[in-house]
Structure 1
Amino acid sequence: MHSYLIVSYAGDDGVSLDIGFYYMANAMGRLIGTILSGWVYQVAGLGACLAISTAFLLLTWLISFKLPRKSSITNI
């Protein structure tokens, strides 16, 4: 579903650039998330990891409301 959304939101003149940026950001998020979660677990324990994860999920949910609405995007 993510790939469909990225292609749908990509500009007509730079689809490969937009998709490349998405995959780069995805990889960076996985790397930083792995390091951050390990550090937080060592410093503050599992409860802090779950709290930070919940905060990031809420932040992502709020940011998703800023995505432009397109009539060509259909529900999957």
Structure 2
Amino acid sequence: MFGVVFAINSSLHSYLIVHYASEDGVSMDVGFYYMANAMGRLIGTMLSGWVYQDFGLTACLWVSCGFLILASVISFWLPQKAIQ
């Protein structure tokens, strides 16, 4: 079940990054997205390990909730383009 959710999420991200990319710089925009994604995975892994070791599972869940709220707020500033 989780594999299906991750597959749908991955395909949605791939579509959105190409949709929001400028026409003359799609490869640079896609490359920046994958670079930022990889950096986020690395930092997220290290941050979650540190928070869990020093503060426990409850703190991990609160930090995760905080990042979820932050991502939701930031998404409001995405440009409103019509999906074609």
The TM-score with structure 2 as length reference comes to 0.85
The separation in 2 between residues aligned to 1:27 and 1:67, in whole angstroms, is 21
AA aligned to 1:45 is G
Matched, 1:19 2:11: no
Aligned to 1:37: 48
* SS across alignment from 2:42: helix
Per the TM alignment, residue 48 of structure 1 is displaced from its structure 2 partner at its CA by 0.3
Per the TM alignment, residue 12 of structure 1 is displaced from its structure 2 partner at its CA by 0.6
Aligned to 2:39: 28
AA aligned to 2:65 is T
5+ residue gaps, structure 2, are: 1-11
5+ residue gaps, structure 1, are: none
Per the TM alignment, residue 62 of structure 1 is displaced from its structure 2 partner at its CA by 0.4
Residues 26-65 of structure 1 mapped to structure 2, 5 A cutoff: 26-65=37-76
Name the one with the larger helix percent. Answer: 2
CA deviation map 1:15-45 (0-9, x unaligned):
0000000000000000000000000000000
Aligned residue pair count: 73
Aligned to 1:4: 15
Sequence identity of aligned pairs in percent? Answer: 70
Matched, 1:69 2:80: yes
AA aligned to 2:13 is H
Q: How large is the RMSD of aligned CA atoms in angstroms? A: 0.8
The TM-score with structure 1 as length reference comes to 0.94
Per the TM alignment, residue 65 of structure 1 is displaced from its structure 2 partner at its CA by 0.4
Which 4+ stretches in 1 moved above 6 angstroms?
none
